[in-house]
Chains A and B, each alone.
Chain A
Amino acid sequence: MTKLPDWLAFDPRGPLRLGPRTFPGRIWTASGCFGYGLDGADLGTAGGGSPFDGLGAVVTKTVTPQARRGNPPPRLWETAHGALNSIGLENVGLARFADEIVPVLEARGVPFVASLAATRPEEFGDLARRLAAAAAGAAHWHGVELNLSCPNVAEGGVDFGRDPETVERCVAAAREHLAGRALLAKLTPNVGSIARLAAAAARGGADGVTAINTLIGMDVDLRTGEPVLPRRRGGYSGPALLPVALARVDEIVQETGLPVVGVGGVATLEDALKFFAVGAVAVQVGTAQMSDPFAAAAVAAALAAAG
């Protein structure tokens, strides 16, 4: 059992108040790393555990206005201490998400945050409006995380989330329809100043920001001299990101004081405590959740058990 350090400025074992919502915990799963929060419900451990035990929220796979088939394979490539992905925002589209997935999450009592992506600021407003209408009574739907930085989609993606003015417009468009839900903007680290993006999100009405999305990365197959991913570059995630993510969270907290949900390379309670140390209010487990469906639940359990 880990002893909670006495330098912690707050007790991370309690619930989290973020905007208009109270989340049941501060250990979440990251978007794209635990599906829509449906898969894994049938998995167990020798001790009878569930991957959902103690989670503060599941941030769903990103949903777009229309269904997307995603990128051609190969979509994943492991490097030392990290992984490249180019999934291409494969998803069922908002209509099926609202009609088929939200009711199951709600019935199972899974606290969730819907990750939304669009290609124009006004589309974020449409997505938020449609989801708010379809899921109005969903008590376990805590909020929305705007994916402003998925680097894989040629028509939108990273350029669009790199411009503070565009970030502000996207957030404002969604905010209008999300009274009563927490609104987060997930920010790209592939910029000079991430704090400027965070400040823009706050001006648009975000309750906080999630940092960081994947770095842009690449690998080369030495047998062919070609990139390993068909689209050449992809999103880089995994343990290698932890120091980068910590620095970016620290930058946002120091320069803006905004609530930050930290994400990047977290696999253990010790990793999570580093984010809490620099001021993150919650922590997401991403790539580690792919290699172990019980990763986030284990971090939550270790936190709950810490004295």
Chain B
Amino acid sequence: MNPSADATAPPARRLRGTIADETAVSSSMRRLDLELEEPVAFQPGQFCMLNLAGERALVFGRPFSLLAASGRRLSLLYKVVGRGTARLRDAGAGAPVTCLTPLGRPFPAPDERPRLLLAGGVGLPPLIAWAERWGRPRDLRCAGGRDGDDLPRGLLGPGWRLSADRPAGEPGGRAVFAGNVVELARSLLPAGAPAHVVLACGPLPLLRAAAGLADERGWDCLVSVEERMGCGYGVCRGCVVPRAGDDGYATACKDGPVFDARALDWARFGGEGAA
């Protein structure tokens, strides 16, 4: 199946704006709201390249999946993982930014088949956005974290099933499955369960396990990959992932970030001298 080449996804623009709000939404995840110079729209799975204006020590923008857009307000979730995200956290409300968005190929709108949503870590925003726009009762939504406290529960409504590698109690009375998010899905959809189309977004081990589950069941599977990016718009060839069928590469930013799992070479993915 093809990631969406949805004609309704508008072309990307480079917009100026400011940080409107920045707040922790879990033990490890933060929400950033931007106020941009023009209204923005996006399809779930698309991303932005964000630069702090005038920040020359940060050479590249940083890619972030989009969570929500309303008028000129654009929201995303992130984790502080390095210099760029630390600067973003510390920049404060009012800090000027430039934002290139919306970028990349999104998750497509659903057909009649039920979806299995598998989200982990900063892979949550595209699937939260997908569920809010297109989710139906027959779609199964699963979100996984490390200890449960890192799940942004305020953004995950009662329709979401939760898992954690090391559950730390059950705050709010919601059950948290002990294990990873793919193990949660396997427990809910044992062998013989009706076919689902898998939509997965998160770190590579999650994507690999999701693709494995889909392959085993003969289901279609779309994955959204996370890669270090330079440009975000296809010119630098820095964010490549191994393509199936030849020994070449596809770009995460322009050919993806959403790929049919069968279009990627999982044997080479992450194994070629990854740091």
Contacts and interface: CB of A to CB of B under 8 A. Distances in A.
B59 A238 contact: yes
Nearest to A220: B275
Interface stretch (A17-25, A72-80, A161-169, A202-210): A72-80
Contact of A75 (B12, B16, B238): B238
B13 A43 contact: yes
Given A81-B59, A90-B237, 5 more contacts: A33-B235, A33-B236, A34-B235, A46-B38, A87-B238
Contacts of A53: none
Contact of A287 (B38, B59, B83): B59
Nearest to A34: B235
Interface stretch (B124-132, B154-162, B170-178, B246-254): B246-254
Interface stretch (A189-197, A254-262, A272-280, A288-296): A288-296
Interface string A58-92: 00010000000110111111111111010100100
A78 B234 contact: no
Contacts of A87: 236-238
Contact of A82 (B15, B59, B83, B84): B59
Interface string B78-108: 0000011000000000000010100000000
A81 B241 contact: no
A291 B241 contact: no
11 contacts: A42-B11, A43-B13, A43-B100, A73-B240, A75-B237, A76-B236, A78-B83, A85-B230, A229-B275, A291-B59, A291-B61
Nearest to A227: B275
Interface string B213-255: 0000000000000011111011111111100001111000010
B99 to A, nearest CB: 11
A217 interface: no
B56 A81 contact: yes
Contact of B275 (A43, A61, A69, A221): A221
Contacts of B59: 78-79, 81-83, 238-239, 287, 291
Interface residues on A, range: 35 or more
Main secondary structure of the interface of B (DSSP, over half): loop
Interface of A is mostly: loop
B14 A76 contact: no
B15 A290 contact: no
Interface of B: 11-16, 37-38, 49, 51, 56-61, 83-84, 98, 100, 227-231, 233-241, 246-249, 254, 272-275
A35 B235 contact: yes
Contacts of B238: 73, 75-76, 85, 87
A292 B51 contact: yes
Q: Which one of B49, B234, B239, B240 has the highest number of Cβ atoms from chain A below 10 Å of its Cβ?
A: B240
B11 A78 contact: no
A70 B254 CA distance: 17
Given A35-B235, A78-B58, A45 B240 contact: no
B249 A292 contact: no
Contacts of A290: 60, 230-231, 235-236
A239 B58 CA distance: 10
A115 to B, nearest CB: 13
Contacts of B13: 43-46
Nearest to B58: A78
A83 B60 contact: yes
Contact of B11 (A34, A35, A44, A287): A44
